[in-house]
Amino acid sequence: MTTRFKLVVEFDGRPFMGWQYQDHGPSVQGALEAAVERITGEQALVQSAGRTDAGVHALAMVAHVDIARPMTPFRLMEALNAQLRPDPVAVLACEVAPPDFHARFSATARRYRYRIVNRRAPLTLEAGLAWRVPTPLDHAAMHAAAQLLVGHHDFTTFRSVQCQAASPVKTLDRLVVMRHGDEVVVETQARSFLHHQVRSMVGALKFVGTGKWSARDLERALAARDRAALPVNAPPDGLYFTGVDYATDTDADTDD
């Protein structure tokens, strides 16, 4: 008899090849599964709400794992955090979940945040944690153009050629651009995203922000349904998985 545990995980993506287990380098999933095995002696699969790329971070990734050994959620969380050191991965919360709960397939919405530091000086403390864009950005123009991407569209232009999704059609619920001093923040939400979709959208919006593209250019790129119409892909440094909602959540804002 196993117990299904729901985990909320924070991680710095810089040392990892991404969330998913990789043969050619460390992964967040691999670090968590190794920690579970050291604690319980069990080779358990840790499944997440999303699969982040190399260098992408998470403030609140949700995952689940089935464990046969009797443990309280608090004890499991403490043990995992002890075993995960010195990897930059932390379990922020742990609770018993229903047997039919699935971190990926039960999700109703996922949220991402992208951080741009808009300044001439190089990054020191934030290196690898944000995208430095030295050219001034018009965040209001970026936000206005971003609204053209909200809704139900064919996002082929913003899809990686390695994307394995059955369809390029997605419904984007929210895409906002804000400025806080030197930092320009892009936040987005959808039930699911295509591979590289968020980074591709941010890359295109950066072109709008620098004045190289108009909102009409962004609209044309979307309509082209052609990856070649994309000007640049934003680097993984500034991308954060910030949260996921489930139909059974009493408080949907479990922000990542």
Instruction: Return the active site residues.
Output: 53
Any idea which residue has 């050219």 for tokens?
A: 135
> Going by DSSP bridges, is the β-strand pair 131-132/107-117 parallel, antiparallel, or unpaired?
parallel
Find how far residue 84's CA is from the centre of its chain. Answer: 21
Q: Is 133 helix (H, G, I), strand (E, B) or coil?
A: coil
Q: How many CB atoms lie within 10 A of CB 24?
A: 6
Q: Is 156 helix (H, G, I), strand (E, B) or coil?
A: helix
Peptide bond into 134 cis (omega under 30): no
| Dihedrals phi, psi of 11, to nearest 5 degrees | -155, 150
> Going by DSSP bridges, is the β-strand pair 239-246/57-67 parallel, antiparallel, or unpaired?
parallel
Q: Is 41 helix (H, G, I), strand (E, B) or coil?
A: coil
Helix pair angle (139-146, 215-224), 10° resolution:
40
List, in sequence order, every residue forming a beta bridge with 172; answer none if it has no partner. 151, 190
